[in-house]
Structure 1
Amino acid sequence: MKKGIISSLLVISALAVFGQEHESSEVPKIYRETPTIVNDLVHTKLDARFDYDKSWLYGKAWITLKPHFYTTDSLVLDAKGMEIKNVSLSNDGKLSPLKYSYDGYLLNIRLNKPYKGGETYTVYIDYTAKPNELKVKGSAAITDAKGLYFINPKGEEKNKPTQIWTQGETEATSVWCPTIDKPGQKTTQEILMTVPAKYVTLSNGKLASQKKNNDGTRTDHWKMEMPHSPYLFFMGVGDYAVVKDSYKGKEVSYYVEKEFEPVARRIFGNTPEMMAFFGKITGVEYPWVKYSQIVGRDYVSGAMENTTATLHQESAQQDARELVDENRWEDVIAHELFHHWFGDYVTAESWSNLTLNESFADYSETLWNEYKYGKDAGDATSYSAMQGYLSNPDNAQKHLARFYYNDKEDMFDAVSYQKGGRILHMLRNIVGDSAFFKALNNYLTTNKFKAAEAHQLRLAFEEVTGRDLNWFFNQWYFGAGHPKLNIEYKYDDSKGVVNVFVQQTQEGDAFRLPIAVDVYESGKKNRYKVELNSKADTFSFPFKKHPDLVNVDAEKILLCEKIDNKSLEQYVYQYKNAGNYLDRREAIEFCAKKQDDAAAQALLLQALKDPYEGLRTFTLGKLDMKKSTVKTAAEKAIEDLAKADPKSTVRAKAIDLLGSYANATYADIFKTGIRDSSYAVAGASLESLAEVNNEAAVEAVKQLSAQPAKGQLLGAITSVAAKNGLEEAFPTIAATFGSMPLTQTKFEMLQPLAMLISKMKSPEKVKQGIDLITDFRESIPTAYRAQTDGYINNMVLQGIQNAKQKENTPASLELVEYIKVKRTTPEKKAF
C-alpha cells in the first residue's frame, strides 16, 4: 500500500498555522504476538450479488480449511457487521447445519466432529454484508475500514461514476467475506460477481467465464489459483475503459474512466518494463497469472497491491497536459507492483513485521528511478523519503519491527515505509549489489507463498554473504532512532595528517556505521573504508599536500542527521568534484546561506546548469531575489532557463522568478508561455504576466476560463480572477475545484478561491463557493480533521465572512449568516 489519501504536504500546510498534535511517545505495554494459527485457510469461493439501493452485498461463501496441527472441533471466522443466515458443513454438495454463535465481529462455529491436523473440511455461509452500517475506524494511512465501498450507487451525483471497490488491508476483507483475516493466512480463491451487464469487473487471478443472465445482469467468474492473504482479496465494478498491454504473454491491463482511455498508456505504460526490471533484479519473474490496475473514486488510501489487481486512487488519472510536466503517479505504480514480490508473494506474518512489505515497496521507488532515469533521480527519491521520516521527531522512538503498538493501523507510518527503505539502501551498500540482490532472491524463493518475519530476511542475507548480520538487524530492525553526527576536521600540514572527529550526539548508544571517507588531494581521490562505533570516533588520514576536501560518508548512504563543519571553499569543491546528488545538494544548500559571498553566488549560478533538473529547480528556489546583487547576477541565467530548459518544471520555476523582475520586456515570454502545453509553464506565465501587464492577464483569464485547466494553471487563473474580481471565471474554477481529488494542489487553491468568493456579488455563486469549501473540508479524513478544520473554518471561511460583513447590505448580511452556519463543523460519522 502506498499510504495516504492526502499529501503529507497538505497536513504540513495546515500545521504551519495551527501546530501539529503528536502521538504520545510513550511505548504501549501490550505485546502484539503473531496470531496463533488453529485452522489454515485452503480455498475460498464467494458468490457475490450487489444491492445498489441499500449498498449491501448478498454473499454465499464456501470456505475450505484444515487444522494447522492440533485436532480441533471448532472454527472462528472474522465476519464484521454481517447478517448471518445459514452456517453449514458442505460435503459433496450437501449442506448440514452447524451450530454457531455470532457477536457481530466473530463467527464461532462448532464443527460436526473433531478434525485432525491437515484434514480438510468446507464450511458454507449465507450472509448479507452491510458495510455502511458497521462502526469501525481507519488510520492516517487507511482512512476508513469498512472494506466494501459503493460509490454513487444510485447515480445521484451528477459528475461521479457509479463504482464498487474493496479495500482489505489491514483486516477489512472480513466486512464483506467471512475469513480468517490475518496476514499470515494464505488461500486460493474464486469469486463470482453478478453485476449490471453494462459494467466490467475485476478481481484477483484470471477471468474464467462470463454468463449473461435474463434479468440484465452478468455473472463474471474470477479464479485465483495461487495462494495469497485475505487482505489482498479484491472486487472492482464500474463503467471502465480497459486498455490492454502484455508482458511475456501475460495480460497487463489498465482500468480507467473512459475520459482517460487515450492517455492510459502514458500513465501506466511503463508497467511491463517495471515487471521486467523487478524480475531481473530479484531473479524471480513476475509470479502471478496477470497484472491489472484499476482507478477508484473516493479511495481511502493512495493505492493498494491487491494480488494481480492493484487499486489506485483517482489522482492516478492525469490528462495529457499534466503528463507533460511529469507522471506524478509513476512512483506509486512501481511501489504497488513491487509489492507483488514483497507483500503478496512473501507476506509479513504479522503487522509487527509490516516493514517486510512496505520497506521494499518504498525502496522500489528508488530502484526504479535509478534504473530508468539515472542515479541522480534515484538518489533524489531516496533523499526525499529520508526527509519524510526525519520530519517527525516521534518516529525516532519506534522500532522498525515493532511488537508494541496501540493499534495495528499505527504500523502504517514513515518508520515502516521510508525508514525501512533507507535501511535497505544501507544494507545494499554494506554487502554490495551482487550479494544484495542474490539475498533478495534467496528470501523470495525460500519463503514463496508463505509468511515471513524480519529474522528470515536476516537469515537469507547471512546465507548469501556468509556474514553474521545480527548487529545490523538488532540496530536497525529491533532498535529505534538514527544517528545524529557532528563532524569536525583538523589539518596538520607539518605532519601531513588530517584528523576527522565524528561525534554521535543522539541519546542512547552509539550506532555501528561502516562508511567510506574520500580524501581529495591535488585533483586525486583516495578512498578509505572506516567504521563508526563509538559516541566519539577519530580517524587520521595522511596527505602530501593539504587536501581540497575530506568527504565523510562519501557514498551518501547514511540515514542520519548531521552537522558537517566544512568551509565554503570545501563545499564548492565538493559540488564540482564529488559528484553524487547529495554532494551537490549539500553544497547548494550551504551556498544558499552565504549569498553575499561571491564564491557562493558563483556556485549557485553554476548549479542553475546542473545536469539534473531536480537540482536546477532546487537552486532556483534557493536564490534570494531580495538581494539586488543576486537578482542582477542571475537574471540572464533565469531568462535562459525560462526560454529553453528542456524540462517544463524548470521552465515554470524560472518564469516564476522572472516575474519578480516586473520587467515588461519579458511580457512576450509570458504570453508565449500561457499557450504552452505544460500546465506548470502556463500557470507560471499567467501569474508573471499579471505582474507586468494586468490587463493582458485579465484578458488571458477570460479566454482560459473556457478551456480545461488544472494544477498550477488553475491556481494562476484563480489568483488573477480573485485579484481582479472576475466573477465570470468562477463557474469554470468551481467546476474544476469540485471535481479535483484530495491533493495538495486543491488545498493550496483554498485561499485564492476564498479571495474570489469574497469579491463576488451573486449570492447564489457565493453560496456555491462556500459549499465547495465546506464539502472539501468534510472530505478530509478524520485523522487529519483536527489539524485542518481550524484553518478552513477560522481563516478561509472567516475571511469570506468578514468581507461580506463589511459590505453591510441585506444580501451580504444574509450570506454572513449562511457562512456562520457552514463554519459549524458537523459531527463526522464513523463507519
Structure 2
Amino acid sequence: MVITAGALSPVMAQTTPKADDPAMKIYRATQPRINDLVHTKLDVRFDYKKRYLYGKEWVTLKPHFYATDSLRLDAKGMDIKSIAIVKNGKNIPLKYKYQDSLSLAITLDKVYYNNESYTVYIDYTSKPNELHVKGSAAINDAKGLYFINPDGTEKDKPTQIWTQGETESSSAWFPTIDQGQQKTTDEISMTVPANYVTLSNGRLASQKVNGDGTRTDTWKQELPHSPYLFMMAVGDFKIYKDKWRDKEVNYYLEPKYAPYAKEIFGMTPELIEFYSKTLGVDFPWYKYSQIVVRDYVSGAMENTSATLHGEYVQETHRELLDAYYDQGRSTIAHELFHQWFGDLVTAESWSNLTVNESFADFSEMMWAEHKYGKDEADAHSYTAMMNYLANPANKEKNLVRFHYNDKEDMFDVVTYQKGGRILNMLRNYLGYDAFYKGLGIYLKTNAFKAGEAQQLRLALEEASGRDLNWFFNQWYYGHGNPILKISYNWDDAAKKETVYLQQTQDGDGFKLPMAIDIYAGGKKVRHNVWMNDKADTLTFASAVKPDLVNVDGDKVLLAEKNDSKTLPEYVFQYFNAPLYLDRFEAITKATPEQGDAGARKVMLAALKDKYYGLRIKAIRGLDMTNDDVRNAAQPILLSLAQSDENTLVRAAAISVLGKLKAAGMLPTFKEAVKSESYAIQGAALTAISMQEPAEALTLAKGFEKDNKGALTIALIHTYATAGGDAEWPFVYKQFTDAGIQNKFAIIREFAGMTGAVKKPEYAQQGIAAIKDAAIKYKMYGVADPLTTMLEGIKTQRTQMGDTASATAVDDAIKEINK
C-alpha cells in the first residue's frame, strides 16, 4: 500500500503517540492458527439503493494442527441469515453465536482433524455504510466495501463499487479468518448491471448474461493469497489491454482518461520484466491489472493481481508532462513490487509489516535507478530519509514492533521510508548480486506462505555467507539512528589525514561499515572502514594535503551528519565527487554563502546540473539581491525558462525571473503562458500578475475550462490577489472538488480569499469548507493549523464589520474541537 498523508506536509502538525498509553504495553503476539482457510467461494450481488451486498459463501477449511470442533470467523456488521455445514451436497444447519457483530463463533458438526477439510455455507448481508469502524492516518476508512455515487446524484462523478481489505476490512464484506498469515484460493461471482465492467483477483473464468439486465462475472484466483488482498471493483471502466510475455496486463480507467492509459501505465510490462529478472522469480500470478477509482481511502493497494489506485495517478497528457517520478510513477512501481513482497510472501503479522512495505518502498528506488538513473534514485531515497528524520518521535520506534497502540500505526515512515533506507544500506554492504540472490531465496522458500524479518535474515546469510545478526539487531529490532559528528586534521609533517568520527545520539552506538574517499593530488583513493564504537579515530597517509575527505562515499548511511568540511572543500566536492548527494550538499552549503566567489561558482554551475532536481534547487536558492549573482544568473535563467527539457525547471526559472518584475521579461512570460505544460503556464501567469495584474486576470478567465495542478494554483493566486466576488464561485468549486493533495496545495490562497470577499455568504461558504476539511482530515494533524487560518479569517471579517461570518468561525472551531 502507498499512503498519501505526506501531501499534507505544508500545513500538517505531526502527531506523536502517547508513551503512557496502556495499549503500548500489550505484546502483539501473532494470532494462533486453529483453522486454516483452504478455499473461499463467494456469490454476491449489490443493492445500490441500500448500499448492501447480498452474499452467499462456501468457505473450505481444515484444522491447522490440533483437532477442533469449533470455528471462529471475522464478520463485521453483517446480517447472518444461516450457517450450515455442507455434507453430500446438503446444508446441515450449525449453531453459532455472533459476538458484538464482529466475530462468528461456530460449533461444527463434529471434531475435525488436520488431515480432513470441511466446508461451511453462510448466507449473509453486508451493510458497510452502517458499520461503525475507525480509519487511521494511513487508511482513512475501514468499512471494506465502498459504494461511490450509487444513486447517480453527484454530477460528473461515476458510479462505482470497490473494496479495500487492508488491514482487516475484508471481513466487512465476507466472513473469513481476517489474518495475513492465512492463505486461500478463491472464486468470486459478481452479479452486476450488464453495462458495467468488473475486476477481481485471478482470471475471468466466465460471464453469463442474465435476463433481467444484469450479468454474472466469475473470477477465479487459483493460487493462494491472504484475505486482505481479495478485491472487487464494478463500474464504467475502459480496459486497455497490454501484455508481459504471455500474461495479461490490463489498465482500467474512466472513459475520459482511456486515451492516456498507455502514457500512465505503459511502463508496467518493462517493470514486471525488470523485477522478475532482478529477483530471479518471475511474476507469479495469472495476470496483472491496475484500476483507478474515485474517493479511494488511501494512496493505492496491491490486491493480488489487481492493484487499485487512487485517482491521483489518472492524468491527461498535459498533466503527465509535469509528472516527475515521485508522482504516480513511483506508486506504480511500489504496488507492483508488492506482488512479490506482500502477496507472494505476506507478513505473518502486522508487527513484521516491514517485509511488505519496506521492500515496496525500496523498490521505488530500484526502479528509478534502473529507468531514470542513479541521481533520480538517490534523490528519491534522500527525500524518504528526510521524511523519517522530520519527526523525533520516529526515532523511538523499532522497525519490527511487537508493541503498538493500533495495527494501523505500523503504516508509518518507520516501516516505509526508514525501512527502505535500511534495505539500501544492506544492499550496499552485501553487494547487489548477493542481496538480490538472498531476496530470491526468501521468496522461493516462503512462496504462498507468510514471512518475517528473521527469515529474510537467514536468506541473505545463505546467499552471502555473512553473519547479519548485528545488522538486524540494530536496524530491525532496535530504534533510532546515528547522529554523526565528523571532523578532520591534516598533519603536514607526518603527511597524515586524521578523521574523527563521533556518534552523539543517546544510547548505544551503531556499527557502521562505510567508504571514505580521499581526493588528493588529482586522484581519489577509497578506504572501506568500519566504525565499531561511538567514537573512532581513523588516520590515512597522503603525499599532499587532501582537497576533500568524503565520509560515507556511497551516501547510503541512514544518519544525521554534522560535517565540518569547509566551503572550499564543498566547492571541490561539487565539481569532483560524483553522486547526487555530493552535489546536493555542496549546493546546500553554497546557498547562504553567495557573497563568496566559490559559492557563486557552485550555484551557477548547478543551474546546468545534469539532474533536473538539482537545477531546480539551485534556481530556488539563488540570491537575486546580490548583483554578482543576478547579473551572472539572469541570462542562464532566461535560457532555462525558454528551452530547458524539463517543464519543472522551466517553471522554476520563470518564477524567479517573475519576482524581478523586469519589463523586458514580459514577452518570455507571455510566450510561456501558451505552453502545453500546466506548470509552465502557472508560473508564467503568476509572473505576469506581478507586473500586469489586470492582464493576468483576463488571461486567467481563459483558463477556467482547462486547468490542473500548478495552473489551478496560479488561477486561484491571481483571483485571490487581483479578483473578487465575481471570481469566488470558481475558486470555491475548485477547492470543494479538489482531492486531498490539491486541496491542501491551495488552502492558504483559499483562506485568504475567504477573508477578503465582500459577500458574507461567500465568506461563510469558505469557512464551512475549511471546517469540513479540518474535520475530515483531522487524523493527519491539520486541525490546529486550519484553526489558525480560521482565526485569521475571523480577524479580517471583524474588521469588515461582518459579525455573522466571525460568529461562523467561532462555531466552526467548536465543531473542529469536538
TM-score calculated relative to the size of structure 1: 0.95
Residue 343 (structure 1) aligns with: 342
CA distance 1:675–1:477, shift in 2 (3 Å): same
Q: What SS class does the counterpart of residue 440 from structure 1 fall into?
A: helix
Counterpart CA distance in 2 for 1:538 and 1:756 is 59
Residue 815 (structure 2) aligns with: 825
- Per-residue CA shift, 1:50-81, capped at 9, x if unaligned? 11111111111100000111111111111111
* RMSD, aligned CA: 1.8
Q: Indicate conservation of the 8 Å contact 1:25/1:394, yes or no.
A: no
Counterpart CA distance in 2 for 1:728 and 1:565 is 56
Q: What SS class does the counterpart of residue 442 from structure 2 fall into?
A: helix
730-739 vs 405-414, which moves further: 730-739
* Shift of residue 230, structure 1, vs aligned partner: 0.4
2:294 aligned with 1:297, yes or no? yes
Q: What SS class does the counterpart of residue 481 from structure 1 fall into?
A: coil
2:466 aligned with 1:491, yes or no? no
Residue 668 (structure 2) aligns with: 669
Residue 97 (structure 2) aligns with: 101
* Shift of residue 404, structure 1, vs aligned partner: 1.4
- Per-residue CA shift, 1:546-565, capped at 9, x if unaligned? 11111111011100001111
Residue 270 (structure 1) aligns with: 267
- Give the residue type in structure 2 aligned to 1:170: T
2:756 aligned with 1:740, yes or no? no
Unpaired runs of 5+ residues, structure 1, are none
- Per-residue CA shift, 1:392-443, capped at 9, x if unaligned? 1111111111111121111111111111111110111111111111111111
Residue 782 (structure 2) aligns with: 788
Counterpart CA distance in 2 for 1:452 and 1:556 is 30
- Give the residue type in structure 2 aligned to 1:56: Y
Residue 365 (structure 2) aligns with: 366
Equivalent residues in 2 for 1:405-804 (5 A)? 405-705=404-704, 707-743=705-741, 745-761=742-758, 766=763, 768-780=765-777, 782-784=778-780, 787-795=781-789, 797-804=790-797
- Per-residue CA shift, 1:444-477, capped at 9, x if unaligned? 1111101011111011011111111111111111
CA distance 1:144–1:685, shift in 2 (3 Å): same
Counterpart CA distance in 2 for 1:206 and 1:422 is 36
- Give the residue type in structure 1 aligned to 2:454: H
CA distance 1:234–1:265, shift in 2 (3 Å): same
Q: What SS class does the counterpart of residue 420 from structure 1 fall into?
A: helix
Q: What SS class does the counterpart of residue 13 from structure 1 fall into?
A: coil
387-396 vs 647-656, which moves further: 387-396
Q: Indicate conservation of the 8 Å contact 2:422/2:475, yes or no.
A: yes
* Shift of residue 633, structure 1, vs aligned partner: 3.2
* Shift of residue 703, structure 1, vs aligned partner: 2.1
Q: Indicate conservation of the 8 Å contact 1:68/1:118, yes or no.
A: no
Equivalent residues in 2 for 1:81-230 (5 A)? 81-103=77-99, 104-230=101-227
2:40 aligned with 1:50, yes or no? no
Unpaired runs of 5+ residues, structure 2, are none
Q: Indicate conservation of the 8 Å contact 2:697/2:723, yes or no.
A: no
* Shift of residue 177, structure 1, vs aligned partner: 0.8
- Give the residue type in structure 2 aligned to 1:736: Q
Q: Indicate conservation of the 8 Å contact 2:62/2:114, yes or no.
A: yes
Q: Indicate conservation of the 8 Å contact 2:754/2:763, yes or no.
A: yes
Q: Indicate conservation of the 8 Å contact 2:495/2:541, yes or no.
A: yes
Q: Indicate conservation of the 8 Å contact 2:34/2:63, yes or no.
A: yes
Counterpart CA distance in 2 for 1:673 and 1:82 is 57
Q: Indicate conservation of the 8 Å contact 2:641/2:651, yes or no.
A: yes
Q: What SS class does the counterpart of residue 251 from structure 1 fall into?
A: strand
Counterpart CA distance in 1 for 2:142 and 2:434 is 40
- Per-residue CA shift, 1:128-150, capped at 9, x if unaligned? 11112222222211111111111
CA distance 1:359–1:384, shift in 2 (3 Å): same
* Shift of residue 270, structure 1, vs aligned partner: 0.9
- Per-residue CA shift, 1:298-352, capped at 9, x if unaligned? 1111110000111111111112221111152010010000000000001111111
Q: Indicate conservation of the 8 Å contact 2:774/2:816, yes or no.
A: no
Q: What SS class does the counterpart of residue 815 from structure 2 fall into?
A: coil
Residue 33 (structure 2) aligns with: 37
Correspondence for 2:230 among 224, 228, 233: 233
Q: Indicate conservation of the 8 Å contact 1:492/1:498, yes or no.
A: yes
- Give the residue type in structure 2 aligned to 1:640: S
* Shift of residue 804, structure 1, vs aligned partner: 4.3
* Shift of residue 807, structure 1, vs aligned partner: 4.1
Counterpart CA distance in 2 for 1:25 and 1:560 is 24
Residue 18 (structure 2) aligns with: 24
* Shift of residue 119, structure 1, vs aligned partner: 0.9
* Shift of residue 821, structure 1, vs aligned partner: 4.7
618-627 vs 30-39, which moves further: 618-627
Q: Indicate conservation of the 8 Å contact 2:58/2:122, yes or no.
A: yes
CA distance 1:298–1:551, shift in 2 (3 Å): same
- Give the residue type in structure 1 aligned to 2:735: F
- Give the residue type in structure 2 aligned to 1:39: N
Q: What SS class does the counterpart of residue 396 from structure 1 fall into?
A: helix
274-283 vs 747-756, which moves further: 747-756
Counterpart CA distance in 2 for 1:469 and 1:525 is 30
Counterpart CA distance in 1 for 2:661 and 2:728 is 27
322-331 vs 36-45, which moves further: 322-331
Q: What SS class does the counterpart of residue 422 from structure 1 fall into?
A: helix
587-596 vs 364-373, which moves further: 587-596
Counterpart CA distance in 2 for 1:783 and 1:820 is 21
- Per-residue CA shift, 1:240-295, capped at 9, x if unaligned? 12221111121111111111111121111111111111111001111100111111
- Per-residue CA shift, 1:12-39, capped at 9, x if unaligned? 4243xxxx44213459221111111111
Counterpart CA distance in 2 for 1:678 and 1:600 is 32
Percent identity of equivalent pairs = 53
Q: What SS class does the counterpart of residue 825 from structure 1 fall into?
A: helix
- Give the residue type in structure 2 aligned to 1:227: P
- Per-residue CA shift, 1:450-507, capped at 9, x if unaligned? 1011111011011111111111111111111111100111111111111111001111
Q: What SS class does the counterpart of residue 402 from structure 2 fall into?
A: coil
Counterpart CA distance in 2 for 1:395 and 1:640 is 43
Aligned positions, number: 813
Q: What SS class does the counterpart of residue 701 from structure 1 fall into?
A: helix
Equivalent residues in 2 for 1:327-338 (5 A)? 328-338=327-337
* Shift of residue 806, structure 1, vs aligned partner: 4.1
Q: Indicate conservation of the 8 Å contact 1:503/1:537, yes or no.
A: yes
* Shift of residue 735, structure 1, vs aligned partner: 3.4
Counterpart CA distance in 2 for 1:515 and 1:826 is 49
- Give the residue type in structure 2 aligned to 1:712: A
- Give the residue type in structure 2 aligned to 1:151: I
